[in-house]
Amino acid sequence: MSKKKIIFCILAAMICLSFSGCAKVYELTEEDEDLIAVYCAKTVSKFNTVKTQGYINLIGDDLKEQYALQEGSTVSEEEELPEDEIVDDETGEDTSLGDPNYVEDVPDDTAQASGSSSLTDALSIEGLTFDYKSAAAMKDYSIGGYANITPTRGRQFLVVTYNVINTTDSDVAVDIPSTGIKFKASVGGTSNTADGTIVPTDLSVYKGAIPAGHTQEMVLLFQFEPDALSDLSGLTLQMIDGTTATNIIF
């Protein structure tokens, strides 16, 4: 073999080796994986007409407890984007004029009102005080500053916020899903029950513990037409437990 051929073979081998190296693989922390899961959940939910099912279907059992999700909800794999939905390719924003498949939530009116009380007395969780903080209309709701959840097109969130205070020296467990309790808000002549979301502090589906002596901000999220939320002065809140509805005093 000539000297030139030997040199050529050596150079070719070196070039092949230079392209065959493995790139450094970035190792994700548990926090990184959780953030990715939430981003993916938001993307799926944007194109799912049943919001809570989209989130629940994506997040695995290991994250359901962390984000206080209700069990048992599923989403059909054949569920598709409505034909008239238009999404701007540049901004990713929905530019359609409403969801024809949206079904207005009709609360269960079979529950009979049993009087009025504070949320603290209504829930009656020993060691916890629920102090009303605020109520506001929002186009979307931020989860810890790293993701937003959005209501069904053409609707807005009514966000009712409470400070939950643990007045004891021990952690207090809270498991709202196991109680079957629901929350209903009425404003602007319409009523809706609280959405179950992946917001870690969503009281309507919260399952966890409030640390000893800790104050935790929690929220209830409801979907309404924007016109209904133009004036919140007539807002009323009910806690429904089976066939009993308790009017909540703010």
In the chain (250 residues long), the average pLDDT of successive 10-residue segments reads 61 63 60 67 55 44 46 41 44 41 50 84 97 96 85 95 97 96 96 92 96 97 96 96 93
Q: Which pLDDT value is given to residue 220?
A: 97
> How many structural domains are present in the chain?
1
Report if residue 210 sits inside a domain.
yes
Token reading at 73: 């909800």
Half-sphere exposure of residue 32: CA atoms within 13 angstroms, side-chain side: 4
Sign (positive or negative) of CA dihedral 76, 59, 192, 172: positive
- 232 within domain boundaries: yes
Q: What is the pLDDT of residue 118?
A: 96
Residue 158 has phi, psi (to 5 degrees) of -100, 120
What's the domain range around 206?
A: 106-248
Residue 61 domain flag: no
In a domain, residue 52? The reply is: no
Tokens encoding 72: 């048992």
Q: What are the Cα distances from residue 166, in Å, to 212, 219, 233?
A: 6, 16, 29
Q: Kindly provide the residue ranges of all beta strands, DSSP E only, lying in the chain, ordered along the sequence.
A: 112-117, 128-138, 141-143, 147-149, 156-166, 172-175, 182-187, 190-193, 207-210, 215-224, 236-241, 244-248
* pLDDT the model gives residue 206: 96
So what's the pLDDT on residue 82? 45
Q: Is the dihedral of CA 196, 197, 202, 208 positive or negative?
A: positive
Beta-ladder partners of 26: none
Domain CATH for 144 = 2.60.40
- Length of the chain, in residues: 250
- Specify the pLDDT at position 139: 94
Do 159 and 136 touch, CB atoms closer than 8 A? yes
Q: Phi then psi for 230, rounded to 5 degrees?
A: -70, -25
Question: Does residue 248 sit in helix, strand or coil?
Answer: strand
The verdict on residue 50 lying in a domain is: no
Specify if 117 maps to a domain. Answer: yes
pLDDT value, residue 70: 41
- Integer Cα distance of 18 and 199 in angstroms: 47
Q: Is residue 77 part of a domain?
A: no
In this predicted structure, what is the pLDDT of residue 241?
A: 94
Alpha-helical segments (H) within the chain = 3-19, 30-46, 51-58, 61-64, 119-123, 176-179
d(CA 41, CA 249): 35
Task: With respect to residue 15, please indicate whether it lies within any of the assigned structural domains.
Answer: no
pTM of the model: 0.60
Q: What is residue 19's predicted lDDT score, i.e. its pLDDT? A: 60
Q: Which two tokens stand for residue 206?
A: 């919260």
Return phi, psi of residue 149, to 5°: -110, 145
